Amino acid sequence: MNTQLEDYRSHCQACLTYKKQNCKEPLMQHEVPNRAWSKVGIDVFNFGTKSFVLITDYYSKFVELIKINCLKSELIVKKIKQVFSRHGIPEIVMTDNGPEFASNTFREFSHDWKFQHVTSSPRYPQSNGQVERAIQTIKNMMRKTTYDQMEFPLALLEYLNTPISKELASPAELLYNRKLRSIVPCYPNLLLPKINTDVINKLKRLQQKQKMYYDKGARKLKTLIIGQKIKVRINKTWVPGFIKSIVGPRSYLICMATGGVLRRNRKHIIVDSNQRIDESSNLRTQYDDIAVNNNKTSAHAPSPHGSSTQLRAPHLQQSDRSTVFIVHLPAGK
């Protein structure tokens, strides 16, 4: 009886359409860089009426903050170039799929300055969690300094001088191998350069501790296969489609039953045991912030380790937005 009820529930389209979100999966962390400023994350955010570009180093947690007047890609690239001219060009740049990072301008920037551009899955900012956490910290500092009528630059300076943990030095020390002089009194010899040792192992231990707490209550979801019938979460409901391709760990390219192609994380996908795919149907392709390689239809997702270069082509650059996808399913499926 229990098996029959479970089977009935799994085939109930009303139940699947309005099902709750998937549970969280075990934390998949980025590989610890082997040196400072080799891998950075970039994002834009608003505070009040002002807009900012934030750049953070995955190794040292150092933060660069730039105020911008608009969200044009040309201006953002110009500001990022100024930061790179001071700290050097990183090997990997992690961003989300915002239009300012999906433009031809940013793609040409990554090609000309020779760094690997990796994008996170749409609607899944957790995959670029280092930047998201830094933005939360900076916004809290802005609120507190505004409330107390204090200078934000001084607060940011003290933040960069504060040790990350009991084992790890401050972001400034990990990046520059020295403390930054501030208004807080200190002995002059504390400002002398000092080499930090065993940083990578300390960062790994910190990651392991974070994973231990995060994975409580987490459950691994089944890996999906190409052609499998699924539902993807859109606006708090689950919409039918099928897996077109697997573009990376927990990242899938989905052909929607109503037309269009989306890229989504496994968290936003459930198995649909009732949906059927009409082999004669034509599905119109509309790329929704997906990562593609050289404007080809085969997509490559950004892995947490940044193993492949990501070039994003929004649908406005596609000369032919209509594509026929035919999936041959085995008999009885």
7 occurs within a structural domain = no
Same domain for 180 and 52, yes or no, is: yes
34 occurs within a structural domain = no
Same domain for 167 and 74, yes or no, is: yes
Rounded to 10 deg, the angle between the 129-148 and 152-161 helix axes is: 130
Same domain for 246 and 277, yes or no, is: yes
How many Å apart are CA 223 and CA 194, to the nearest integer?
47
Same domain for 248 and 187, yes or no, is: no
pTM: 0.70
Same domain for 126 and 236, yes or no, is: no
How many Å apart are CA 240 and CA 198, to the nearest integer?
49
Range of the domain at 45: 39-214
Q: For the chain, how big is the Rg over CA atoms in Å?
A: 23
Specify the pLDDT at position 5: 67
Same domain for 181 and 246, yes or no, is: no
61 occurs within a structural domain = yes
Number of domains in the chain: 2
**Average pLDDT by consecutive 10-residue portion of the chain (333 residues)?**
67 73 84 94 94 96 95 95 96 92 94 93 79 94 93 95 94 95 91 92 91 88 90 87 88 88 88 57 41 41 43 40 46 48
How many Å apart are CA 93 and CA 111, to the nearest integer?
12
48 occurs within a structural domain = yes
326 occurs within a structural domain = no
Contacts of 225 (CB under 8 A, 6+ apart): 243, 246
Write the CATH number for 132.
Answer: 3.30.420.10
89 occurs within a structural domain = yes
